[in-house]
Amino acid sequence: VSDDGLDGLLARVLDGDHRALARVLTVVESGDEDQLRTVTAALHPHAGRARVIGLTGPPGVGKSTLGNALTGALRAQGRTVGVVAVDPSSPVTGGALLGDRIRMQAHHADPGVFVRSSASRGHLGGVAATTPHAVTALDAAGFDVVLLETVGVGQSEVEVAATADTTVVVLAPGFGDGVQAAKAGLLEVADVLVVNQADREGAGALATTLAGMRDLGVPPDGWRAPIVRTVAVRGEGVDGLAEACEQHRAFLESTGALAERRRRRAAQAIRGIVLERLGRAMVAPEVDVASALPQRVADRQIDPFTAADELLGALGADVRPVRPTRRADR
């Protein structure tokens, strides 16, 4: 997209034009920092109105099916919904992009629904770096709710989920137990716990284990994640899920925790940009010195701290060493 064309597109996004939004999301995912910057500068001031709901969980538990059903429930309440499905290429469903598209065709003719599936991986920073900006774009485009689906397998995916106001962790019998989910850091980020595929054997046992794990700790913000059972393929329990999200939202608003979440999301976006830049700087030709450095350290010419100073100096990064404060300094 040319820079002139981009300005026009951005104006149309703010008017709620879905085709312009799709093209702007392509720019966001491309990882072109100059253009991403233009996009963000134009859209950031207009975002902040949408409720952002994250759906995460192990591959194949039914996140997309549930997201589709939840979209239907929200539409029935008269809310518009923008969906971002990140990297839906799990080993279980073998890349469910096509299946997701077919499922979401239920909402295809509905102008109150917009769906974006992005399987973009590979550029530095990956999906975790660009997802907050995609959420901003959908928010600025005026959707009442932004649904963010990520596969909760790695830390970055869990972090992506944590950029939401309300994080729904979806589990299902036969896809790992509560203990595994806890180890993956999934329970920690859960505001609502869903046992999907509740029509299958083991759903009750999974819900019991989850309740036990949840009640082991005291929630830092005072919210105890409700456990909702759903059969996403039949739409069962989905109104209950929408209600649980609504209650969590009311909790966030009444306790001031929403502002805290928004700050957390902002911090996440800043970190993503910094990491992206540092990552690029580390492989830039100017820092070829990196290849000579390890040899000098190995030859005992310099110590690793001096080498790190040299490298950071070459990057132009102002990253000072940590100095613990001594008593005399206080």
Per partner kind, with CB cut-offs from 5 to 8 A, the member of ligand GTP, Mg ion, none near residue 59 is ligand GTP
Strand blocks (E) in 58-183 = 81-86, 113-118, 145-151, 166-171
How big is the CA angle at 173 (ends 155 and 243), to the nearest 5 degrees? Answer: 75
CB of 235 to ligand GTP, least distance (A): 9
Residue 88 in the binding site for Mg ion (CB under 5 A) = yes
Cβ density class 136-161: b for 16+ within 10 Å, e for less: bbbbbbbbbbbbbbbbbbeebbbbbb
Q: Specify the residue for token string 């290849």.
A: 291
Q: Cβ(294)–Cβ(304) under 8 Å?
A: no
Per partner kind, with CB cut-offs from 5 to 8 A, the member of ligand GTP, Mg ion, none near residue 54 is none
Per partner kind, with CB cut-offs from 5 to 8 A, the member of Mg ion, ligand GTP, none near residue 62 is ligand GTP
CA distances from 306 to 31, 108, 282, 295, 310 (A): 33, 59, 17, 13, 6
Where in 182-211 is the site for Mg ion (CB under 5 A)?
none
Per partner kind, with CB cut-offs from 5 to 8 A, the member of Mg ion, ligand GTP, none near residue 293 is none
Q: Specify the residue for token string 């966001």.
A: 28
Per partner kind, with CB cut-offs from 5 to 8 A, the member of ligand GTP, Mg ion, none near residue 60 is ligand GTP
CB of 298 to ligand GTP, least distance (A): 44
Residue 80 in the binding site for Mg ion (CB under 5 A) = no
How big is the CA angle at 235 (ends 229 and 147), to the nearest 5 degrees? Answer: 85
DSSP class of residue 51?
A: E
Query: What track of x and - describes contact with Mg ion for positions 288 through 317 (by CB under 5 A)?
Result: ------------------------------
CA distances from 330 to 212, 320, 325 (A): 46, 20, 7
**Nearest residue to the partner Mg ion, using Cβ:** 64
Collapsing DSSP to helix, strand or coil, 229 comes out as strand
Query: What track of x and - describes contact with ligand GTP for positions 163 through 202 (by CB under 6 A)?
Result: ---------------------------------xx-xx--
Where in 16-55 is the site for ligand GTP (CB under 6 A)?
none
Where in 63-82 is the site for ligand GTP (CB under 6 A)?
63-65
For ligand GTP, which is the closer residue by CB, 175 or 252? 175
CB of 152 to ligand GTP, least distance (A): 9
Per partner kind, with CB cut-offs from 5 to 8 A, the member of Mg ion, ligand GTP, none near residue 187 is none
How big is the CA angle at 110 (ends 107 and 113), to the nearest 5 degrees? Answer: 70
Per partner kind, with CB cut-offs from 5 to 8 A, the member of Mg ion, ligand GTP, none near residue 197 is ligand GTP
**145-151 β-sheet, strand order:** 113-118, 81-86, 145-151, 51-57, 166-171, 192-195, 227-229
- CA proximity to 244, closest of 171, 283, 313, 190: 190
Residue 307 in the binding site for ligand GTP (CB under 6 A) = no
For ligand GTP, which is the closer residue by CB, 13 or 84? 84
CB of 321 to Mg ion, least distance (A): 44
229: left (phi over 0), alpha (psi -120 to 50) or beta: beta
CB of 50 to ligand GTP, least distance (A): 22
Q: How far apart are CA 329 and CA 24, in angstroms?
A: 52
For Mg ion, which is the closer residue by CB, 116 or 261? 116
Query: Which residue ranges make up the site for Mg ion (CB under 5 A)?
Result: 63-64, 88, 96
Note the residues at the interface with ligand GTP (CB under 6 A).
59-65, 88, 90, 92-93, 96, 99, 151, 196-197, 199-200, 231-233
